[in-house]
Amino acid sequence: MDIVFIQGLRVYCIIGIHDWERNRPQPVLLDLEMGTDIRPASHSEDIALALDYDAISKDLCTFIKASECRLLEALAEQIAQRLQSRFGVPWLRLRLSKPDAVPEARDVGILIERGVRPEPSSTLVSGVW
């Protein structure tokens, strides 16, 4: 299995349970790892055979900006479901955080994994890969 990743995607949205959080957008940061097999795209150099991180980033920015979740947990679950259904991602690890939520902390958030992480395609033979 190979991993396509996006790190530090910053999106401003309405999120939170407090009244002040519902009145103005605040940043959320997204780090994403997506399991895939890059070999078909690497052999053909056809973007249609790749997980297009540019298209995924743009889609997520639009989606997150329009969301108005109260909890990070809800937003994370919606993002995971969207990636799996819209982009066919079989496994993902998502770190979603709100850097401005707790003034005393650099960052707070959640980390989730969804799907089944595919096993490496290599086979162990006589103790050697």
CATH code (residue 64): 3.30.1130.10
1: which residues sit within 8 A by CB, 6+ positions away? 35, 36, 37, 91, 117, 118, 119, 120, 121
Determine contact, residues 61/67, Cβ cutoff 8 Å.
no
Q: Which residues are catalytic?
A: 98
Q: Per-residue pLDDT for the chain (129 aa), expressed as one digit of tens each?
A: 899 999 999 999 999 999 999 999 999 999 999 999 999 999 999 999 999 999 999 999 999 999 999 999 999 999 999 999 999 999 999 999 999 889 899 999 999 999 987 666 554 444 444
pLDDT value of residue 41: 96
Task: Provide the domain limits for residue 80.
Answer: 2-115
31: which residues sit within 8 A by CB, 6+ positions away? 5, 6, 7, 8, 9, 94, 95
d(CA 35, CA 111): 16
27 domain residue, yes or no: yes
120 domain residue, yes or no: no
59 domain residue, yes or no: yes
121 domain residue, yes or no: no
92 domain residue, yes or no: yes
Please report where in the chains the tokens 């309405």 appear, as a residue.
14
66 domain residue, yes or no: yes
8 domain residue, yes or no: yes
pTM, rounded to two decimals = 0.88
What domain count does the chain have?
Answer: 1
Determine contact, residues 121/43, Cβ cutoff 8 Å.
no
Kindly tell me the burial class for residue 30, based on how many C-beta atoms sit within 10 Å of its own C-beta (0-12, 13-18, 19 or more).
buried
Distances (CA, A) of 105 to 32, 36, 39, 76: 22, 34, 41, 20
Determine contact, residues 1/120, Cβ cutoff 8 Å.
yes
Secondary structure class of 86 (helix, strand, coil) = helix
125 domain residue, yes or no: no
